[in-house]
Amino acid sequence: MSMDHNSELKKRLDTTFFQIVELRIPNRGDIMRIWRTARNQFDLMDQELVQCRRVNKLSPKYQELEKNLIESLDTIEQYLTFATLLTPNHN
């Protein structure tokens, strides 16, 4: 069992952060708040992973945090897609 699979989630977090920063829309702060919540989920997940490594299996708490993070990232990515399509002069 690989316990470093959250590196892909970290990459998604980083990518969405830079997309949010580059986005030229009003109320960008709203999506940034969603991103901060997702980042907090990742941090909690990372802390729980320490315990998971001790027992060599993913805990239900870790799995719930991971599920919530994935849902948050999906929401952010959808929002970014729509915002990019609706923003004039997008590249």
Distance, CA of 45 to CA of 47 (rounded, Å):
5
Percent of the chain past pLDDT 70, that is, above it, reads 90
Residue 2 predicted with pLDDT over 60: no
Assess contact for 77 and 17: CB atoms under 8 A: no
> Which amino acid would we find at residue 28?
R
Residues 6+ apart with CB under 8 A from 77: 12, 16
pLDDT digits (tens, 9 = 90+) for 9-31: 999 999 999 999 988 777 788 88
* Closest among 79, 49, 74 to 63, alpha carbons compared: 49
pLDDT band at residue 3 under the 50/70/90 scheme: low
| Full-model pTM | 0.84
Upper half-sphere CA count for residue 8 (Cβ side, 13 Å): 5
Q: What is the pLDDT of residue 54?
A: 94
Residue 88 predicted with pLDDT over 90: no
* pLDDT (mean) for 46-61: 93
Assess contact for 6 and 49: CB atoms under 8 A: yes
